[in-house]
Amino acid sequence: MQYEELQPELLRYLTPRLLNVWKRDLCEGRAAGCRGFVEQFWPALLNGSALTRVFSQKEREVFISFMRNCILDRLDDEESLRFSGMGARPYDWVRTFVSYGTLFSDVEILWNEWWQMKTSGHAVAAFQYASALMYEDKKNPVFDPWTPDKGGGPPALWDCGAMMFNVGWKQENLDFFKNTLNAEYFEQKLRIALDKIKDPTAKSVASRITDDFPGQRARMEFRIEELPILLTDVSSTNGFTI
């Protein structure tokens, strides 16, 4: 798919199977045993001709809608606001979200659906994401600090986790983040999210984050400005400067 144009009939036959493997990895993580496939699947979509020349406009819309809905379903599965060591569940959906923004220009639709916080899972995922903007890595109440032997730490909000190099988000997605995200936006949304969380333990951590918001506002504002810059190269090893 990445280097050759598949026969249209073969591509259409394979596509549901490819998407099913991608979905298994998103939902089951490393337990699905599909990580190597996914690392190549994203660049195959990015560099190959399937989405640009083989699929019709209607087929592309169905393809993108399926992926977007799978990501929303995966976000709905989030329950915890405490993680330690490598393999934390949010790492997978964050990387998928970042990869999505390199291929498709409708992050606004995905983000707005998520941040309506219709479910407890979406609310928990919102706190997971916001915590990576608010706190120093060693003081994040959701993700224990990284250690050499156990890994860990908050997710890198710009890391795609796939074999894509010298590529970044679509300009429409970068513009959406620049025009939408600010400290006031997050403060308002997190207060709404707090009321949606059902699990008492997660709600306690979320309440702490909400209470911490005024003291973390300056760091969040700075990182919000940096995030679109970092997303212009999703393979970069650079991170937030503060």
C-alpha–C-alpha distance, residues 141 and 155, integer Å: 13
**Tens digit of pLDDT for each residue in 209-233?**
999 999 999 999 999 999 999 999 9
Where exactly are the structural domains of the chain?
8-230
How does residue 193 score in pLDDT terms, banded at 50, 70 and 90?
A: very high
C-alpha–C-alpha distance, residues 112 and 198, integer Å: 21
**Tens digit of pLDDT for each residue in 48-72?**
888 988 999 999 999 999 999 999 9
State mean pLDDT over 1-20: 92
Q: Is 85 exposed, middle or buried (0-12, 13-18, 19+ CB in 10 A)?
A: middle
Smallest CA-to-CA distance from 128 within 97, 92, 62, 82 is with 82
**Tens digit of pLDDT for each residue in 134-154?**
999 999 999 999 999 999 999
CB 150 within 8 A of CB 213: no
**Tens digit of pLDDT for each residue in 38-51?**
999 999 999 988 89
Smallest CA-to-CA distance from 160 within 52, 48, 82, 46 is with 46
How does residue 6 score in pLDDT terms, banded at 50, 70 and 90?
A: confident
**Token pair recorded at residue 108:** 């606004």
